[in-house]
Structure 1
């Protein structure tokens, strides 16, 4: 994902674009910055997997990694990344990703 890089904070991997964080790992769960409407849906239909992150802003969700397939986690990380980069960057990335999937 363009601009994404990993940093370590208190021994845990954080994934940023510039100084903005979009995902971090903590033991058996991830903390992802997801679109608010999507978060609310996930909290409602899959409460065993997705929970509100009570100490952070409304954009962060706890995600139980043991309840996800690798493909679903990758999609969620891409969604989190897309939420902090300019739309033209995410649009170009997803168009290229779609072209690779079709080929």
Structure 2
């Protein structure tokens, strides 16, 4: 199972990323934009994801992915059960959510260094 610590290790390597504790919830941001957030019990991770693609993602793997709460449907956001993903999938989800928040040149420089 992937943990918050696994996500923290990855997020700390992403340019412009910062960790915050907001209302007892761990969140990772680029500037003021949250790209990853955890439920209080750390069993669910919310992450940035294109609105137009999230229904298909949830429909394809409903045991893994969930739509956000009604109040968060206006955002580009989806949830995943931490126990349902491995480290490789977590890396992909977190990096893509972060990519949505940074300028293309920052993302391109990161990819070039990898």
The 2-side partners of 1:36 and 1:92 are apart by: 26
Structure 1, unmatched stretches of 5+, are 98-103
1:58-97 to 2 correspondence within 5 Å? 58-97=75-114
| Higher-RCO chain (CA-CA 8 Å, sequence separation at least 6) | 2
Query: How big is the shift at 1:35?
Result: 2.3
CA distance in 2, matches of 1:15, 1:55: 20
In the aligned structure 2, how far is the partner of 1:40 from the partner of 1:95?
Answer: 32
Contact 1:35 1:80 in 2 (8 A): no
Pick the structure with more strand per residue. 1
The count of residues paired between Structure 1 and Structure 2 equals: 97
Larger mean Cα displacement after TM superposition, 7-16 or 38-47: 38-47
TM-score (norm 1): 0.85
TM-score (structure 2 length as normaliser): 0.78
Runs (4+) of structure 1 moved beyond 2 Å?
35-41
Equivalent-residue separation in structure 2 for 1:96 and 1:37 (angstroms): 30
Structural RMSD (CA): 1.4
